[in-house]
Amino acid sequence: MPDIVPLPPGSTIGILGGGQLGRMLALAAARLGLRSHVCDPDPGAPARQVTSLSTIADWGDASALAVFARSVDVVTYEFENVPAAVIDAIEPHAPVRPGRRALAVSQDRLAEKDFLSGLGLATAPYVPVEDPVSLAAAIARTGLPAILKTRRLGYDGKGQVRISDAGAASGALSALAGAPAILEGFVRFDREISVIAARSPDGSFAAYDPGENVHRDGILHTTTLPARIDSAAAAGAVAIARRITDALDYAGVIGVELFVTRSGLVVNEIAPRVHNSGHWTEAACLIDQFEQHIRAVAGWPLGPTDRHSDAVMTNLIGDEVATWPSVNNAALHLYGKAETRPGRKMGHMTRISPRQK
Amino acid sequence: MPDIVPLPPGSTIGILGGGQLGRMLALAAARLGLRSHVCDPDPGAPARQVTSLSTIADWGDASALAVFARSVDVVTYEFENVPAAVIDAIEPHAPVRPGRRALAVSQDRLAEKDFLSGLGLATAPYVPVEDPVSLAAAIARTGLPAILKTRRLGYDGKGQVRISDAGAASGALSALAGAPAILEGFVRFDREISVIAARSPDGSFAAYDPGENVHRDGILHTTTLPARIDSAAAAGAVAIARRITDALDYAGVIGVELFVTRSGLVVNEIAPRVHNSGHWTEAACLIDQFEQHIRAVAGWPLGPTDRHSDAVMTNLIGDEVATWPSVNNAALHLYGKAETRPGRKMGHMTRISPRQK
């Protein structure tokens, strides 16, 4: 294991992406006496509001990215679709964590599924699709219904088309406008859970208790702790997260979404970053996922992951944010976004209650 | 009661003072989607690190203060020694909360004691002192030992001299260099507690459970929850805080330090701001004192004050901050101060444990 020297207080964390996750990372870094420098193409990125250090740069502007990288001590990111060229521009000047391999795997649904399968982990049945011929062959393997997904740049249900019958197949393919895709077979599951885990550069590992997720319109709606799973399933989910992070030589927090099925746990997807389904940790754990991520990328010892309370985190999507004045008995977290749009994550709230088990 | 419209998300809180309390207020405001604008004479004030909006202005610079005030929606402060002239410069442009009366009372130990006595609350015996003659008369009333304190600008044990015998009296007076003073008699107490409470502009009130404080060298060392007091004493302490905030028509969080004596509760001092002895709320309550203060000054409904866990908060003073890499199983909070000096508050840490009662 490499001997990692923790970045001392006063060091600067570079954050690629200035949305709500970057913002919450910056707030967490501040608690540890660390500076944050936010880099994003959008001048109005909300994370800029919470730090005095900020760069406006397009992802294609290698020289601006190099200047940014030289001004910080380590670089992390709030989104998995960081172009490889951005890492190329930064890595000569500052370490990037979680790192290149985690990005490569999670940017491409096919690479991700191949990686997971290679570890012996169960995934939905999947077949790469490039054209109507390969789609027909894929349907023959997965059966219907199935979901056609772009290999890249999908999130919150975007870049996905459900195919319920063979007649809809060609329409689904044209909806993706020729982008490379995979067809995923349906997984019959009892519930969906996620594990938020962290790994240090020195290989140490810590995971929060799995939360149970409910989606609405393809977007996370609630995460509830504890998940309605037995302790063997919980331990199995954490073991899967450990296996994934070890295989990626990972440094940082990861979100691993899993389906709980009658035949065991099936990995849905991984996100090499802090994750919406980990927002409950702010309210129900001493050290939340944001601080844990900063600790990991800064080479600090990981914090405890015990849950002191049960919790229900609810996203505030679009107009739901207008309910803020009436949020009582919950921790409210709003993201500082100037414009409310349908489907946009504007905030979240977490209710806690004494632990029942 | 005035009908207060809560400041909507995106509004800006002006914060006078950019030390650790201003910094933690700014971090709390950010969670609510509110901006913070820090105003401080010191270009290196640590709160500047956590917001993009910041003014460098001397407290005597009325025009700079007016510009600052016009750019924000409400002004609050992290320290009670805000000069009245600063409020004069700001108040025509933005409301100042908690407000002028709370500042006037807490800036002057004599005014504070008179205010508390006027409410029928017990304080240490006290006598104003201006010269050797009035000091001798004061000693005759309080007895010895006693503590001679400047009326203004004392904190963390500064501006105080203990007088153990009559021969030391003149030396004590000259140590204060002619500043107006009061002599305080000693209070025999079993323990020291504090109540962190909040009052809204509409008169609603909420208090955290009293914590038990231990000082070292005149500086807060630990705050422990629960305090070792019975429920009647706890309720009495909260009732005192309510009485004080109602009398001041207060808006914001207040810290009320009390001595627990055999004959009841004695008010030691009040701080019209978030308070070091309330830092434990970060780790052991859903809504901490910093967010509660922001809620109150922004006219938002107060949050719940329940304690989900027991807690011990320990200050990291001076070189103690160097222990940060070995802080395990505690929430660490470092203040971003570049220079470590003896007696300087550099950070704190809070351990939590399941509630025992």
Distances (CA, A) of B350 to A336, B255, B280: 28, 18, 6
Contacts of B27 in chain A (CB under 8 A): 27, 30-31, 50
- Other Cβ atoms less than 10 A from the Cβ of A186: the count is 14
Mean pLDDT of the region B51-61: 98
Query: Mind listing the pLDDT tens digit for each residue in B89-114?
Result: 999 999 999 999 999 999 999 999 99
Query: Mind listing the pLDDT tens digit for each residue in B231-266?
Result: 999 999 999 999 999 999 999 999 999 999 999 999
Judge whether residue A157 has pLDDT over 90: no
Confidence at residue A156, expressed as pLDDT on a 0 to 100 scale: 62
Task: Band the pLDDT of A3: cuts 50, 70, 90.
Answer: low
Contacts of B287 in chain A (CB under 8 A): 331
Max CA separation in chain B (angstroms): 60
A positions 278-337 inside 8 Å of B (CB): 283, 286-287, 300-301, 303-304, 308-309, 321, 324-325, 328-337
Cβ–Cβ contact A32 with B under 8 A: yes
Give me the residue label for tokens 């010191």: B42
Cβ–Cβ contact A10 with B under 8 A: yes
Q: Which of B9, B51, B283 sits opposite A52 (nearest CB)?
A: B51
B55–chain A nearest CA distance, Å: 12
Confidence at residue A173, expressed as pLDDT on a 0 to 100 scale: 84
Query: Mind listing the pLDDT tens digit for each residue in B153-203?
Result: 766 667 888 999 888 888 888 888 778 999 999 999 999 999 999 999 999
Confidence at residue B166, expressed as pLDDT on a 0 to 100 scale: 82
Confidence at residue B160, expressed as pLDDT on a 0 to 100 scale: 87
Task: Band the pLDDT of B357: cuts 50, 70, 90.
Answer: confident
Cβ–Cβ contact A342 with B under 8 A: no
Residue type present at position A289: Q
B273–chain A nearest CA distance, Å: 20
Residues above pLDDT 90, as percent of chain B: 88
Confidence at residue B284, expressed as pLDDT on a 0 to 100 scale: 98
Task: Band the pLDDT of A218: cuts 50, 70, 90.
Answer: confident
Q: Which residue of A has its CA nearest to B6?
A: A325
Average pLDDT value over all residues in chain B: 95
Q: Which of B10, B49, B304 sits opposite A52 (nearest CB)?
A: B49
Contacts of A349 in chain B (CB under 8 A): none
- For testing the chain A interface, which of B12, B20, B50, B310 should be mutated: the one with the most A CBs within 10 Å? B50
Contacts of A336 in chain B (CB under 8 A): 9-10, 30, 33, 35
Q: Which residue of B has its CA nearest to A353?
A: B308
Q: Which of B283, B308, B321 sits opposite A309 (nearest CB)?
A: B308
Exposure of B111 by Cβ count < 10 A (0-12 exposed, 13-18 middle, 19+ buried)? middle
Task: Band the pLDDT of A66: cuts 50, 70, 90.
Answer: very high
Residue-wise DSSP of B194-230: EEEEEE-TTS-EEEPPPEEEEEETTEEEEEEES-S--
Residue B108's nearest CA partner among B83, B131, B87, B86 is B83
Across A36-40, A175-179, B340-344, least confident range: A175-179
Task: Identify which of A129-133, A175-179, A288-292 has the greatest average pLDDT.
Answer: A288-292
Across A313-327, B134-148, B167-181, B238-252, least confident range: B167-181
Judge whether residue B219 has pLDDT over 90: yes
Mean pLDDT of the region A252-259: 98
A165–chain B nearest CA distance, Å: 45
Q: What distance in Å separates the CA atoms of residue A91 and residue A85, rounded to the nearest whole number? A: 10
Confidence at residue B3, expressed as pLDDT on a 0 to 100 scale: 65
Judge whether residue A343 has pLDDT over 60: yes
Distances (CA, A) of A130 to A105, A134, A163, A174, A195: 19, 6, 16, 11, 32
A74–chain B nearest CA distance, Å: 17
Judge whether residue A345 has pLDDT over 90: yes
Q: Do B32 and A308 touch (CB under 8 A)?
A: no
A positions 117-146 inside 8 Å of B (CB): none
Confidence at residue A202, expressed as pLDDT on a 0 to 100 scale: 94
Residue type present at position B127: V
Residues in chain A: 357
Residues above pLDDT 70, as percent of chain A: 98
Cβ–Cβ contact B60 with A under 8 A: no
Query: Mind listing the pLDDT tens digit for each residue in A86-104?
Result: 999 999 999 999 999 999 9
Q: Do B33 and A336 touch (CB under 8 A)?
A: yes
Judge whether residue B2 has pLDDT over 60: no
Q: Which two tokens stand for residue B189?
A: 């107490």
ipTM of the complex: 0.95
Q: Do B35 and A336 touch (CB under 8 A)?
A: yes
Q: What distance in Å separates the CA atoms of residue B264 and residue B276, rounded to the nearest whole number? A: 24
Q: Which of B35, B337, B352 sits opposite A286 (nearest CB)?
A: B352
Confidence at residue B159, expressed as pLDDT on a 0 to 100 scale: 81
Q: Rounded to two decimals, what is the model's pTM? A: 0.96
Mean pLDDT of the region A273-292: 98
Confidence at residue A170, expressed as pLDDT on a 0 to 100 scale: 80
Query: Mind listing the pLDDT tens digit for each residue in A7-50?
Result: 999 999 999 999 999 999 999 999 999 999 999 999 999 999 99
For chains A and B, count residue pairs whose Cβ atoms are closer than 8 Å: 108
Exposure of A50 by Cβ count < 10 A (0-12 exposed, 13-18 middle, 19+ buried)? buried
Across A242-246, B45-49, B136-140, least confident range: B136-140
Contacts of B283 in chain A (CB under 8 A): 286
Confidence at residue A2, expressed as pLDDT on a 0 to 100 scale: 55
Confidence at residue B155, expressed as pLDDT on a 0 to 100 scale: 61
Reduced DSSP (H G I as helix, E B as strand, rest coil) percent helix, strand, coil of chain B, to 5: 30, 30, 40
Q: Which residue of A has its CA nearest to B37?
A: A49
Confidence at residue A235, expressed as pLDDT on a 0 to 100 scale: 98
Alpha helices in A36-156 (DSSP H): 62-70, 84-90, 100-107, 109-118, 132-142
